[in-house]
Amino acid sequence: MFLSVFDMFKVGVGPSSSHTMGPMVAGARFLDKMRASPFHFRGLRASLHGSLAFTGVGHATDRATILGLAGFEPATYDAAKAEAVLDDIKARKVIEVPGLGEMAFDPGRDLVFDYGPALPGHANGMILKATDAQGDVIMEETYYSIGGGFVLTAAELDEAGGAKAKARADVPYPFEKADEMLAMAKASGLSIAQMKRANELKFRSATDLDKGMERIWQVMNDCITRGMAGEGILPGGLKVRRRAKGIHDALMAERGLNMTPPHTINDWMSLYAMAVNEENAAGGQVVTAPTNGAAGVVPAVIRYWLDHVPGASASRVGEFLLTAAAVGGLVKHNASISGAECGCQAEVGSAAAMAAAGLCAVLGGTPEQVENAAEIALEHHLGMTCDPVKGLVQVPCIERNGLGAIKAVSAASLALRGDGIHLVSLDVCIETMRQTGRDMHEKYKETSLGGLAVNVPNC
């Protein structure tokens, strides 16, 4: 099994990898299908189903769908250009599609939020249609946004046997389970990061791999920096104030004071994570890690390690990311990283497991200790619901990333205090998360129909 580090860490746009990035990617894929067709198209339509309908407005799914059909993609997203295009579409009721010309599209009529039963393949479903000059549908495709910006057609989902990660196996170390990963590490004498690197080098050069990971960290770190400087109210109507700058200013003022309590280090970890997720909530550029809703955990732990742990070196960030991606790939392949499918245990829980593994590795942990760190972090997120107030990735999501980072660091530390031998394996924990998500009531899985979403006033 192989999922690239660039599958688990993708540069994109907030606020949601599944509800914003995924629909935008689906739109771009549909345009490619149209361009390859002999038909002459004159109009576009879209319908959103399941969680994409219930929390679509809060996640900007409608905007993302329209922009995807207008040729925008997450990795190259230009916010200013997007606003201009959206204004033009609303005014003219036409989408100017690159390579296809003008397509009739009235956002109020041709984009439908379907609040009925979800589509059969996944909680995040959407149907895109292209019409002829008479308005008859002559092309249609169903897409599923399965978390982390991954998008599958209905046929691809069936071929994959469900939302299980579609992954390649023609690599030197094709582990599908954590136990296999540990056995391969023992047999080869390599670390998890070294095995993961060998797998990556089957598909790209060492230079491209290293430059790609450098860019991933650069985008992550820039996001932290922007978030710590940002001020004002986050969009969406909840009137949530940005808090990262105030926390950062207070922490900087306390630096060097003899009376600063040791637990203040937790505030630094929370700060870094919250800075990222405030940027995400504002629709800024983030890196899925493994999702947008959980984008703050991994960069917060890396920044904590670099800024606060003696001996840390930026030259080893790649090792951190490779280790984290190996664990994230296991979770995605064997369970889910989608909040709409398994709740927040699949998002912040997975992110915490990835961050704990990465930190344990760069602190000198053995493969067994790294696996233990990931298991501890994931185990103590089991059962966590996804219940965003008003469907926005703000409450409880922003703070939850901070606590996820703290748990990740604690898990890595506990694992390093042991020898890697432990009762509950990471494989068992991942399977438990999958089963818990399967049994969890739909109203606690990113529909905003239960939990905090209905008990907190949202206006």
What is the DSSP code string of 86-154?
A: HHHHHHHSEEEETTTEEEE--HHHHEEEE-SSPPSS-SEEEEEEEE-TTS-EEEEEEEEEEETTEEEEH
Tracing tokens 């955990």 back to the chain, one arrives at 297
- Ramachandran assignment for 137, one of left (phi > 0), alpha (psi -120 to 50 degrees), beta (any other): beta
What is the Cα–Cα distance from 224 to 302, expressed in whole angstroms?
A: 11
Confirm or reject CATH 3.30.365.10 for domain 17-159, answering yes or no.
no
**CATH code of the domain made up of 178-455:** 1.10.4100
Strand partners, 145: 151
List phi, psi (to 5°) of 143.
-120, 150
CB 342 within 8 A of CB 335: yes
Strands 43-50 and 285-287: unpaired
Q: Per the structure block, which two tokens stand in for 243?
A: 């808090």
Q: How far apart are CA 91 and CA 442, in angstroms?
A: 37
| Phi/psi at 248 (5° precision) | -65, -45
Residues carrying CATH 3.30.1330.90, the chain: 17-159
pLDDT in tens, the chain (459 residues): 789 999 999 999 999 999 999 999 999 999 999 999 999 999 999 999 999 999 999 999 999 999 999 999 999 999 899 999 999 999 999 999 999 999 999 999 999 999 999 999 999 999 999 999 999 999 999 999 999 999 999 999 998 776 555 556 789 999 999 999 999 999 999 999 999 999 999 999 999 999 999 999 999 999 999 999 999 999 999 999 999 999 999 999 999 888 899 999 999 999 999 999 999 999 999 999 999 999 999 999 999 999 999 999 999 999 999 999 999 999 999 999 999 999 999 999 999 999 999 999 999 999 999 999 999 999 999 999 999 999 999 999 999 999 999 999 999 999 999 999 999 999 999 999 999 999 999 999 999 999 999 999 865
- Overall pTM > 0.85: yes
Between CA 434 and CA 245 the distance in angstroms is 37
Whole-Å CA distances, 211 to 203, 216, 217, 303:
14, 9, 10, 19
Cα separation, 362 vs 92, in Å, equals: 54
Task: Give residue 237's Cα distance to chain centre.
Answer: 23
Q: Model confidence over 223-234: pLDDT tens digits?
A: 999 999 999 999
3-state secondary structure of 72: coil
pLDDT of 266-288, one tens digit each? 999 999 999 999 999 999 999 99
* Structure tokens belonging to residue 450: 């239960």
Domain with CATH 1.10.4100 in the chain: 178-455
